[in-house]
A and B are shown apart, each in its own frame.
Chain A
Amino acid sequence: MSTTLSSPPNLLAKSTGNVAGRKLKNIVMLTLCIIAAGLAILVLGLVLYFLLSKGFSSLHIRLFTQLPDNIDTSKGGMAQSIFGTLVLLGVSSAIGLPFGILGGIYQIEARGRFASLVRFFTDVLNGIPSIVIGIFAYAAVVFPLAQRTHGQGFSAYAGGFALGILMIPTVMRTTEEILRLVPFPLREASLGLGATRWRTMWSVVLPAARGGIITGVMLALARIAGETAPLLFTIFGNQLFATHKVAGVSVPTLTAPIDALPLRIYNYSQDVDPNHNAQAWAGAVVLITLILVLSIAARFATRGNMQEEK
């Protein structure tokens, strides 16, 4: 049979010359990519392993339910830090989200020179070290507040202000990018029916982009939840719950010093007390779990959106 065919391409023959070289290059580059990706995962794995092996043994329900015990340090918890971190996330969202989301909408809708200026400065803001934002918050909020009230300027307001600023670039950028992905014909359809631009944004574009925006917000929250540097200048820390009573109900006090997980971890890790060192590890596990939960929630928000699109 084989003799009847003039020159059949032999698929099983060894490739020669140039082809062999190209195949080799392909294999080498692919291997390098796999190694790089593997190393990235390995580093994350090592961090998690290290953290869990050190922190898991100190993880105790006490951590979530009790305040620090200054007499027997092996017994206390850090409930006020977890509480403080949640309050700070709330305050920074209240400050950062309106600016971030509305700013993102503006950049899509306006498209002028001012919009690109805003985009440029947002990128610059994204590059500013968080400790500088902390100093700024100290000068802009802590110091004036202390002078006005003749007392403490360290507060949830100040911390939330610093973290809120850190949120703005991330939220603005993701909002803008997600809104850009919403198909233009959808806008046209709405405008063509006589809807105003705002109505189109509110009723058609934003709902279509909802999942993506939520993802952006979650990732921004995950990022600021772990920020420590700005907190050093703004919240001071607190061994107690920063609350006061309004009509018999305990509400967070935003004008008083407040605690936060990253700050507590930082302080305890510097401590001479081995019990505190151990709690710092456990606190780190709690913090990373919180961030993980936010990141996973972000994933779910996007997935829901994808299904809706189909």
Chain B
Amino acid sequence: MADVTTQKPTSLQDLARAQTSAPTATKILAENVDFYYSAFHALKTINIVIPDRQVTALIGPSGCGKSTFLRTLNRMNDLIDGTRLTGKITLDGEDLYDKRVDVVDLRKRVGMVFQKPNPFPMSIYDNIAYGPRIHGLTNRKKLNEIVERTLRGSALWEEVKDKLKASAFALSGGQQQRLCIARTLAVEPEVILMDEPCSALDPNSTFRIEQLMEDLKKDYTIVIVTHNMQQAARVSQRTGFFLRGEMKEFGDTDQIFTSPKQKDTEDYVSGKFG
């Protein structure tokens, strides 16, 4: 028995520990992750180390599994019937798919911003207060503070401070997306997942969101899925290239874009397919 317990620390935990002592700590670690939609094998043996307080970009052609992988990180795929995951994903060393993990707590720690801005049909204020409220905060003063802080954090405060009671639908698409980011910030997550957050936005709004990511990475770990390779190059420090459910290459963004090791990566980042 003693032998078993001493052998218990897996290579995964060792890897995590090794990464933690490194200059950039590991926030999320995925090891041998396979994912299935019923019979469809959507992710094949994914291994990835997502560093703390950096922006990690996931790129690849449509249907390559990058969004699916993103959604395994806060278990949004649980909402879809017939999905199955094998392998291990850890957040600060804790297994996300452990039976004891409550997805409600997990999603509080790992927030998400979606492709299309999806504000609730409520006022701007209530959109942001929604998260803290569902987690039990009722103190009006604290809610006011959070609303102001997160709106400032998402660079929206100056534009909406006089119309917090107005419907969120009155905002432009770019403003709505920044509102959604503020809404995510309001529950104080550690990780923010962004699923093509700028694909429905005009260039100016995209620029503002990218600036915002630059600021946010001081406090948050960001994982962004993007179709836009220039965007990945601009905002991220690490990049993973997905193709047909496999992660072909993962490394520093500079290296992926300037000297990719794989032929597929080179073809994709140089625009030969995609």
Point out residues on A near B: beta carbons under 8 Å. Answer: 111, 183, 185-196, 199, 203-204, 207-208, 308-310
Contacts and interface: CB of A to CB of B under 8 A. Distances in A.
Contacts of A186: 118, 120-121
Interface in B102-147: 104-108, 111-112, 114, 116, 118-122, 130-131, 134-135
Contacts, number: 70
B180 interface: yes
B169 A310 contact: yes
B187 A193 contact: yes
B76 interface: yes
B79 interface: yes
A193 B121 contact: no
Contact of B111 (A192, A207, A308): A192
A185 B107 contact: no
B79 A191 contact: yes
A194 B134 CA distance: 8
B121 A309 contact: yes
Interface in B62-102: 74, 76, 79, 81
B130 A203 contact: yes
Given A188-B76, A190-B134, 5 more contacts: A188-B112, A188-B118, A192-B74, A192-B114, A193-B183
Contacts of A194: 104-108, 131, 134-135, 187
A188 B183 CA distance: 13
Interface string B169-191: 10000000000100110010000
What secondary structure prevails in chain A residues at the interface with B? helix
Contacts of A309: 121, 169
Contacts of B134: 190, 193-196, 199, 203
27 contacts: A111-B81, A183-B118, A185-B114, A185-B116, A186-B118, A186-B121, A188-B112, A188-B114, A189-B118, A189-B180, A189-B183, A191-B79, A192-B111, A193-B107, A193-B134, A193-B184, A194-B105, A194-B107, A194-B131, A194-B135, A194-B187, A203-B130, A204-B130, A207-B121, A207-B122, A309-B121, A309-B169
Contacts of B79: 187-188, 191
Given A185-B116, A188-B79, A193 B108 contact: yes
Nearest to A183: B118
Contacts of B187: 193-194
Residue picked from A188, A192, A194, most chain B C-beta under 10 Å:
A192
Contact of B121 (A188, A195, A208): A208
Nearest to B108: A194
A296 to B, nearest CB: 24
